[in-house]
Amino acid sequence: MFSLNSQQIKTLIRKDFLLETRNQYTIYGIVLYVISTTLVVYLAMGQPEENVWNGLFWIVQLFVCINAVAKSFLAESHSRMIYYYSIVGAREFIVAKLLYNAVLMMLMSVLSLLIFIVFLENPFTHIYKFVLITLLGGTGLSLLFTFLAAIAAKAKQQASLMAIMGLPIIIPQLLLLMKISTVAFSSVIQEGFWEMTGLLMLLNGMVIALAIILFPHLWKD
């Protein structure tokens, strides 16, 4: 069993927050991307069907996650990583990245949902279920891409390697999110929602555990 230095984690999260507030063009760019995408969908098809609405939402979340989260390691220079190596532990570093990106992605997911509702209306029967899946799904995507970015950061072809590793993993997760979230559009009571939600939480926990266990080996390279 290992222990974590909470003070180091808080300091690293605060550092990422300050950097994000100074480089606000990233957040503005993501918001602009979501608004322009939903506007194009609205102009092209008006109010889409529920399945189309659901699929478009999660595809947009995928690209939002890539732009907002995946850059967390890819933007770090080699010299800066050496500096982090000398002052903080590997597990504290990866946990801080996971927590910060999870919170950032949850905020961006909720914002994307509000923009979708404004432009494409509210097709939900159980909106609270969709909000719950949005938060869990956004967290899951952020955890996965943060871990993949940590691995890809050690290679020269960082962006392409992350895409190659992420494709076979992210597709099943997106399909699971789309399947679970269809419950929010149906007026018929469907069994298995909370079981699938628990499975989604379990997958998120597995990614966190793998990152904490495996990242120290990457940290030494």
Per-residue pLDDT at 164: 74
Per-residue pLDDT at 57: 92
Which pLDDT band holds residue 157 (cuts at 50, 70, 90)?
low
Residue where the block lists tokens 């990422």? 16
Q: What is the mean pLDDT of residues 46-67?
A: 87
Per-residue pLDDT at 188: 67
Tell me the average pLDDT of the chain: 83
Question: 101: Cβ–Cβ under 8 A, 6 or more apart, which residues?
Answer: 68, 69, 72, 142, 143, 145, 146
What string of DSSP letters covers 78-133? HHHHHHHHHHS-HHHHHHHHHHHHHHHHHHHHHHHHHHHHHHH----SSHHHHHHH
CB 142 within 8 A of CB 64: no
Residue 189 has pLDDT above 70, yes or no: no
Question: 13: Cβ–Cβ under 8 A, 6 or more apart, which residues?
Answer: 96, 99, 100
Which pLDDT band holds residue 155 (cuts at 50, 70, 90)?
low
Which pLDDT band holds residue 159 (cuts at 50, 70, 90)?
low
Q: What is the mean pLDDT of residues 97-117?
A: 91
* 31 vs 165, higher pLDDT: 31
